[in-house]
Amino acid sequence: MRGSSAQLVLPYISEADHGVHTAPWLTIREVARLIRVSRDTVERWVRTGQLEAVDVSRTTRPGARRASWRISSRSLAAFLDQRATRPPPPPTPSRRATRREVVDFIK
């Protein structure tokens, strides 16, 4: 596909379930483009077990050929949801003593 004018159609993230839709299985490259990180980063997440993936290459011997990983949309959505930051809770207003309370305390 190198040099072709075909664009990669990426899945979109739905607010309904925070999931990725339309493409059931994504390649390393598609995931990297979708979340705007390098392919090496996605491969590292797969190798370390942070991102669940399936090797669809023909070989069964480890190290015989480079793995061909596919990542399911659901596992990508779970991975992104796990890494999402949540806004901090709103600060509780501090209760300052009024002048009257200070005067009553001193008496």
Positive or negative, the CA dihedral 73, 11, 36, 57 is positive
pTM listed for this prediction: 0.57
Residue 32 domain-assigned? yes
Residue 10 domain-assigned? no
> What is the spatial order of strands in the sheet that 54-55 belongs to?
25-27, 69-72, 54-55
Domain span at residue 41 reads: 25-83
In total, how many domains does the chain have?
1
**3-state class (DSSP) for residue 54:** strand
Owner of token pair 């990725």? 20
Asked whether the beta carbons of 45 and 65 are under 8 A apart, the reply is no
Residue 105 domain-assigned? no
Residue 51 identity (one-letter amino acid):
L
**Rounded Cα–Cα distance for residues 48 and 35 (Å):** 18
Residue 31 domain-assigned? yes
Q: What is the pLDDT along the chain (107 residues), one digit of tens a residue?
A: 344 333 334 444 444 444 444 568 999 999 999 999 999 999 999 999 999 999 888 766 666 667 889 999 999 999 999 988 888 888 887 776 566 766 666 66
Please report the pLDDT score of residue 91 as a whole number: 81
**Rounded Cα–Cα distance for residues 64 and 6 (Å):** 32
* DSSP 8-state class, residue 13: B
